[in-house]
Structure 1
Amino acid sequence: MTHAAGTPASSARSIGARTLATLIGEWREAGPAYGALADRIRLLVIDGRIPVDTRLPAERELAEQLELSRTTVTAAYRQLRELGFLQSVRGSGSVTRLSGSPGMLSVPGDRGYLDLSKAAMPALPWLTEASRRAVDELPRHLGDAGYDPVGIPELRAAIADRYTARGLPTQPEQIMVTIGAQHAIALLSRALVGRGDRALIEQPTYPHAYEALRAAGARLVPVSVMSDAAERGLETAGFEQAIRQSNPAMAYLMPDFHNPTGRSLDEGQRERILAAAAKQGTVVVADETTAELNIDRPDTPLPMAAFGDAVLVGSIGKTVWGGLRIGWIRAEKPLIRKLIGLRAPGDLGTPILEQLIATELLPEMPRILELRSAQLRAGRDHLERQLAERFPQWSVPHVHGGLATWVNLGAPVSSQLALAARNHGLLVAAGPRFGIDGAFERFLRLPISYSAEETTRAVDALSLAWGSLLRHPVPDAGYLADVV
């Protein structure tokens, strides 16, 4: 084995051979086995499913688990080292790295990549104007220390007013301001889940949500999300059965424009899920970060908490700009007090200036949503036309809102397609990024939030990548993603 000089990896986290084999899933394809295995591990690192600084299993252990020769695994590890995705230190094993940036996710934008791995909107056109107004308000907050663990009163009131306008009467005391929605999810996971507790989660789902739950020590209980409206009743029954049988401490779900499938629950489904949770004492956390990104949904259900006890998570990251890190939690006062106590070890509060910017913008939400709806409609329609022309064999659902569509490729090649797309200047999140067990190789999440020019460029890159796969087809293994 070739050993690279560097800091000993004795403090790195480890991943076992069995766990790595599960994440790798179906990886065999035409060409050398070692190359296919290296590509699969490389994608897991790129996607963050194997964190940087993780010690991989010994070559012999992985070879036995995958039923390969050790020579094949040795060659795969060697290729990963040559590409900059692995560092081997004598006596410490092989530790994952990212090419050109060993301690963090790569930032390929300066190399001409088009990044569709993020489903997000460009900044609001009048964000600069709102920021100037916020700066004018800042002096009245400069008399104290500036550490704010709960949120400035005017922002909490503005968030409460927005919920009330949506049909859910809310008091400012029910609001806690956070550093984005992800911060809110992590705080709630720590507050509601003890180590070894079960947590119910949708499958597929928002990756950073299941990561937060796992970090809190939860044992995840997945429930399949049904994209087809005709099957939505099966999904609700699945929730009810999982709650009844596993008695989870917490359930995390996205009831509106689910990421990545785009589905929404109707009012009856919300009532049934909350009723089942109430019987078992399960706390339902509803992520509403995309809830108001409606394009043409026939109806607009009330927020989840209007139908029973539910904690709501929201943010302006998807409506205003991802760089404005303002989120919030809507919950009853006892939970808000508990969350404030849990917050101090991790951070000392949300930046005041960003809160003032959000305060300026929340009253303008109807205007903001009108603009975003028009942008998303144009993005969705253009993407659907492009995909229908270039990939008639793909199944592309017609979403009514949100930021992305969940495309069925018809074959378990999502990871290979994502890797091939990088060779043509496109970054896209493979389907397994949204599964907790390596599933969804048949699916690809494609954002609808990009300009027509960017979308056309992305489809061009996908066409080139797809063509390379067709020249080296991957056998259909009947992957687990069939359940969605």
Structure 2
Amino acid sequence: MDATLSARALDTLLGDWRSSGGSAYRALADRIRLLVLDGRIPVGTRLPAERDLAERLGLSRTTVTAAYRELREQHLLHSVRGSGSVARLPGAPAVLPAPPAADYVDFSKAAPPALPWLAEVAREAVDELPAHLGDPGFDPIGTPVLRAAIADRYTARGLPTSPEQIMVTIGAQHAIALLSRALVGRGDRALIEAPTYPHAYEALRGSGARLVPVAVAPHDVGPEGFGPVDEADDLVRAIRHANPVAAYLMPDFQNPTGRSLSAEARERVLDAAARQGTVVVADETTAELDIDRAEHPLPLAAYGNAVMVGSVGKTVWGGIRVGWIRADRPLIRRLLAVRSPGDLGTPILEQLIVARLLGRMDDILELRREQLRAGREHLESLLADAFPGWHVPHVDGGIVTWVGLGAPVSSQLALAARTEGLIVAAGPRFGIDGAFERFLRLPICYPPEVTDAAVQALARAWGSLARTPVPDQSVLAAVV
């Protein structure tokens, strides 16, 4: 059955879509077009009926009808009498999205290519598989060998951990969704950083949370007016005033800004959370991807009570869907109860692969460190030549940089880039309610030839903006 978007839900996604001039139907069509093209309205989603949307937005039905008609003419809606209007992409089937054309450069996924020795390790893991074929294969908590390996890794990093504190998940995103369901009830407040990892705030919203955003400054000083800010004060203040049940943070190499919390900030935030009874969830997906950071703080839970989320998606390969949660045993038991209705466990073979790889994590991190250092220097050099007016933070780890464009045109640039064969994530993808139009997230983890092609396409798209008047920004604000 097709997913259906209610008028209320679409109203929330639209944000402040009304332009100060021009026709309302065109502004509405443009906003919906941007939401479809950037994936906030998934292909195959049934949009609300014209009458319902008109009533919700306080418009005439004629206005909504005209907006939907324009979207159909742009091949972004497929309408069947009596069945409603379904979002689609130009040239794609009416329901199922087509993959990007082979000549597209996808710069929207911040993840490095697979380890060069991954296939070898996978073959070795297959040889171990017969020992596990005598049982049903459903594993909701994780194999003992992998849980022990994850616990040992935390202990080596300065956070003593036992295997009983570990649950293995199907990647970090799965872990965040499980925690959202276990910790958050409808109407509860949940603190997030802004900008932040979009699938995290989507998971919290899906559990009914009311989000409390706290601003995160870019990694270094730039012309956007930000200085080297440690947002501990803002986090502590938000925890005390909003009293959230949960807080989702990325303490190390935050995605997308690249900033890391100091050891002192970690202590202060966890102290405030303990006083209010807030459960802090620390996403460590990129925590060990250090290039040349001056300070090396311990994992967040070493400074107080925090739930840790990790995975191998950014260190090994995104195609190995294994993550984990480190938490106290009572929460692990709650997570098991939450998990069982949705899935029956993490694939055994992938767990065997990861258990082998964790023993070689120092070698993996050394390889990634050199790749990221080279990728950072290469991207910085290309951007400095092509876009001298942009501010490109010199990040000291992680997989992305949060580029300041100097103008609120991120959404328009992302759309223009598509016509040049480049898929890139606009700044508002990482915020809520259309924020961060002055920023663009760019990965530093791609091979040089891919980065070259991406920057060349980005330069062509930027040039096309210079030749086109910038439309009213309220029309652009919701690309995600």
Q: TM-score over 0.5 for the alignment?
A: yes
- The 3 A distance-change label for structure 1 pair 132 and 111 is closer
Q: Distance in 2 between matches of 1:107 and 1:479?
A: 27
* 2:166 equivalent to 1:175: yes
Amino acid at match of 2:187: G
1:64-108 C-alpha deviation (Å, 9 max, x unpaired)? 9598x8766544422322333212333554332334144455420
Residue number in structure 2 paired with 1:141: 132
More displaced stretch, 43-52 vs 376-385: 43-52
Amino acid at match of 1:14: S
**Kept in 2: contact 1:120–1:403 (CA 8 A):** yes
Residue number in structure 1 paired with 2:146: 155
Quote the offset at 1:58 in angstroms: 2.6
From 131, 136, 141, the equivalent of 2:122 is 131
Residue number in structure 1 paired with 2:15: 22
**Kept in 1: contact 2:411–2:476 (CA 8 A):** no
Residue number in structure 2 paired with 1:357: 353
Residue number in structure 2 paired with 1:118: 109
Residue number in structure 2 paired with 1:198: 189
1:222-244 C-alpha deviation (Å, 9 max, x unpaired)? 11111255756562111111111
From 449, 454, 458, the equivalent of 1:453 is 449
More displaced stretch, 177-186 vs 454-463: 454-463
Quote the offset at 1:473 in angstroms: 2.9
Amino acid at match of 1:318: K
Quote the offset at 1:25 in angstroms: 7.3
* 2:465 equivalent to 1:469: yes
* 2:303 equivalent to 1:307: yes
More displaced stretch, 13-22 vs 401-410: 13-22
More displaced stretch, 11-20 vs 58-67: 58-67
**Kept in 2: contact 1:98–1:104 (CA 8 A):** no
Residue number in structure 2 paired with 1:268: 264
Residue number in structure 1 paired with 2:87: 96
**Kept in 1: contact 2:11–2:56 (CA 8 A):** no
Instruction: Provide the alpha-carbon RMSD of the alignment.
Output: 2.6
- The 3 A distance-change label for structure 1 pair 479 and 267 is farther
Quote the offset at 1:453 in angstroms: 1.3
Residue number in structure 2 paired with 1:215: 206
**Kept in 2: contact 1:412–1:479 (CA 8 A):** no
Matched residues, number: 469
> Pairwise mapping of residues 9-88 of structure 1 onto structure 2 (< 5 A)?
12-16=4-8, 18-22=11-15, 24=17, 38-52=29-43, 53-56=45-48, 58=50, 65=57, 74-88=65-79
Quote the offset at 1:50 in angstroms: 2.2
Q: Distance in 2 between matches of 1:287 and 1:106?
A: 31
**Kept in 2: contact 1:46–1:105 (CA 8 A):** no
**Kept in 2: contact 1:160–1:170 (CA 8 A):** yes
Residue number in structure 2 paired with 1:248: 244
* 2:288 equivalent to 1:292: yes
More displaced stretch, 225-234 vs 436-445: 225-234
Amino acid at match of 1:416: Q
Amino acid at match of 1:81: R
Quote the offset at 1:34 in angstroms: 6.1
Partner secondary structure for residue 440 of structure 2: strand
- The 3 A distance-change label for structure 1 pair 271 and 186 is same
- The 3 A distance-change label for structure 1 pair 304 and 102 is farther
- The 3 A distance-change label for structure 1 pair 383 and 228 is closer
1:312-348 C-alpha deviation (Å, 9 max, x unpaired)? 0000011000000000000011111111111110000
Residue number in structure 2 paired with 1:396: 392
Q: Distance in 2 between matches of 1:267 and 1:22?
A: 37
Q: Unaligned 5+ residue runs, structure 1?
A: 1-6
